[in-house]
Structure 1
């Protein structure tokens, strides 16, 4: 245990809050997965879903641990490779997406031979935000004119959003908001940010109009779903699409202050996506307002640590990385909570580190790994460099030793052959 804690570099408080959220997630996921266990005449075995969630978290922490070992400035160059790769994944997903329980086909892809699904938009989000942080950190303030940044910055941003928008408006809006926030922190001219917002609104309006006129050309588009959710949110008339919200509100009302107790949720059997999109409602039903506010407190404290880490980062690129990768985790969490209590229309955003789902957990952990690397102190970096140098020296000694042994074997072979009678015959 001491060895494990010794190897955890960076901000220990961030490690602690992440571990607390992950550990707590087992209770609501195990409880809420009963809905999935009985779906399609299932056996009702919820342990399978608990084990699956456990494996997702283990893989997530492995990703986080490995990523935090990579010096964060390496991602400055990697972003120029990661973003085009993300574009390829998004294009492939639009063409060959996988249908999950009848859901829209253009969100997921099936990973060959592994039997798992992957959502490229989450990977594209991280890649794009790293790319934007890189651009803002390398460009002088006086050079950040709209004309100069149009091709280098905004063309990649809008192209990425264009690939995500047809199937996932909420993720597109979240990414666009985070890019704008990042440009504001990076001291991009405010008047240019206002122009970009106007261009974004016009582009969204144009896309919706095109889909309305040519619906067959955008079969994977979910414009109708967006409109339905907004109408249901703003209208007082009941609709069958309100079923999720009504069940979520019932769960929250039932939970009261102290909750029904772990595993005693009733609405988990009726609420769709109870282990992912609406898991916050199940948490309040079982743990009450006390449990709900406790989860909010953890996210708020994590947000404060991100602000501190961004302030203390040694470079501008590090500051932008922490803000660009850390703040979306918190905003996504509060969007999920807002949907559960009907402050926001249904979006499909999960509760980071708590909701079930592999892609969300893995990408969140990857982002946290980069953030933790930024928070490393000088002595930790020095210690890592010394350990790396020692490993390299040990490896070089083994290579030199092996070469020396091989050389001795060759000498012995030559000496042995010199006494061979056949050599005298051959010499004659």
Structure 2
């Protein structure tokens, strides 16, 4: 099946006279990809700089947020710093390698990756996962713990990009263009919920709806599914004792501050202590009181040590990351590249937004990391691979990828 980029693109794409109309045969061998697409220009230097800066900043903040905890539990203040530094080196390697690979080579890997991630998620659900914090979200491979839910986000994006580009002429239909994508995403969501990982399930749903909207699926289908999804989310919270307890604690932080709301309450206190300019790097006191400050609540330590100004700059960095991703999507030479870039940009933006909202107690507690900054190898490596793919798309989006 041949897909003509531009002729079947959604309304968010630029006018046809702003880009070269290139045909891509999605099912054909890679050697059949036209030279106009295989040729690569310079990558988006701004996007690359933002990602590298966030990775480096993450190493610094993980050390600042974890030194006390590492000293108490491991008698080594550099325990988490050493691990995060190794993860960062691996992430930069993954970023460079994935940015140099033509993203069209992901065609043949789409279904094997999707199936592999599905198997890993199932292994967590059936009891083979490593438990921590009441959830079995990790698979232990020797000393390394892998979190399949992080892989699932990128796997869903790559599969949706492939499928929607391939079905571009039927994306407005319910049985071909909408329902199959919702079923696969729903299956992955159920596997995440069983771990349980409610936050990742919500991200998967938002990624699916975003790409369906960008691809041109009927708004009525998306709205209907959104209503059903909202009803399911409400039921999942109300009839799950621990989720409902978190919701009640979220509504009454002060009342539950010594119990289930202790972590979000201390997080809010961190932001308040930072005020406008912050206390200074390494001078935050909430690392003594905020549990697991180097993981999901690292934003609270950033707020305490760098204040409102620091958090604003961090939000600006994520906004720039998303905008450069959208830029790459609009300049991509084909629908597949556009959907990949839109999906990855959405993945970064949604996770950062939810993490910051949870740290500020705007949303109930969710187990989502702050992209590129929170401690953890699985999240960092998957996000680095996603950023590399985004850079690969940007390299084929115009003669000058640096502007």
Shift of 1:260: 1.1
Larger displacement relative to structure 2 (145-154 or 170-179): 145-154
Partner of 2:19: none
Contact 1:32 1:282 (8 Å CA) reproduced: yes
The separation in 2 between residues aligned to 1:110 and 1:364, in whole angstroms, is 20
Partner of 1:57: 88
Contact 1:60 1:362 (8 Å CA) reproduced: yes
Match of 1:108 among 135, 138, 149: 138
Where do 1:56-75 residues align within 5 Å? 56-75=87-106
Work out whether 1:82 is the aligned partner of 2:113: yes
Match of 1:315 among 320, 334, 349: 334
Contact 1:34 1:269 (8 Å CA) reproduced: no
Work out whether 1:298 is the aligned partner of 2:317: yes
The separation in 2 between residues aligned to 1:36 and 1:255, in whole angstroms, is 20
Contact 1:35 1:270 (8 Å CA) reproduced: no
1:294-321 C-alpha deviation (Å, 9 max, x unpaired): 1111111111111111111111111110
The separation in 2 between residues aligned to 1:175 and 1:11, in whole angstroms, is 27
Closer, same or farther: CA 105–250 of 1 in aligned 2, 3 Å: closer
The separation in 2 between residues aligned to 1:33 and 1:237, in whole angstroms, is 26
Partner of 2:129: 97
The separation in 2 between residues aligned to 1:271 and 1:348, in whole angstroms, is 15
Match of 2:207 among 178, 200, 214: 178
The separation in 2 between residues aligned to 1:307 and 1:153, in whole angstroms, is 22
Closer, same or farther: CA 251–294 of 1 in aligned 2, 3 Å: same
Shift of 1:203: 5.0
Partner of 1:283: 302
Work out whether 1:234 is the aligned partner of 2:251: yes
Where do 1:136-175 residues align within 5 Å? 136-142=164-170, 144-149=172-177, 152-166=180-194, 167-175=196-204
Shift of 1:377: 3.8
The separation in 2 between residues aligned to 1:159 and 1:134, in whole angstroms, is 18
RMSD of the alignment, in Å? 2.3
Closer, same or farther: CA 39–299 of 1 in aligned 2, 3 Å: same
The separation in 2 between residues aligned to 1:249 and 1:379, in whole angstroms, is 44
Shift of 1:346: 0.9
The separation in 1 between residues aligned to 2:397 and 2:310, in whole angstroms, is 38
Task: Could you tell me which runs of 5 or more consecutive residues in structure 2 were left unpaired when the two chains were aligned.
Answer: 1-39
Give the number of aligned pairs: 357
Task: Could you tell me which runs of 5 or more consecutive residues in structure 1 were left unpaired when the two chains were aligned.
Answer: 1-6, 213-222, 382-428
Where do 1:187-198 residues align within 5 Å? 187-198=216-227
The separation in 2 between residues aligned to 1:206 and 1:234, in whole angstroms, is 17
1:56-110 C-alpha deviation (Å, 9 max, x unpaired): 011111112222222111223311111111111011111211123xx23421110
Partner of 2:20: none
Q: State the SS of the aligned residue for 1:107.
A: strand
Work out whether 1:349 is the aligned partner of 2:382: no
The separation in 1 between residues aligned to 2:227 and 2:303, in whole angstroms, is 39
1:242-280 C-alpha deviation (Å, 9 max, x unpaired): 111221122111111111111111011110121111111
The separation in 1 between residues aligned to 2:88 and 2:53, in whole angstroms, is 12
Larger Rg: 1
Partner of 2:70: 37
Higher helix proportion: 1
Q: How high is the TM-score relative to the length of structure 2?
A: 0.83
Contact 1:9 1:372 (8 Å CA) reproduced: no
The separation in 1 between residues aligned to 2:282 and 2:253, in whole angstroms, is 33
Contact 2:237 2:244 (8 Å CA) reproduced: no
Shift of 1:208: 7.1
Shift of 1:206: 7.0
Q: State the SS of the aligned residue for 2:100.
A: coil
Match of 1:118 among 146, 166, 180: 146
Partner of 2:13: none
The separation in 2 between residues aligned to 1:93 and 1:228, in whole angstroms, is 24
Contact 1:35 1:272 (8 Å CA) reproduced: no
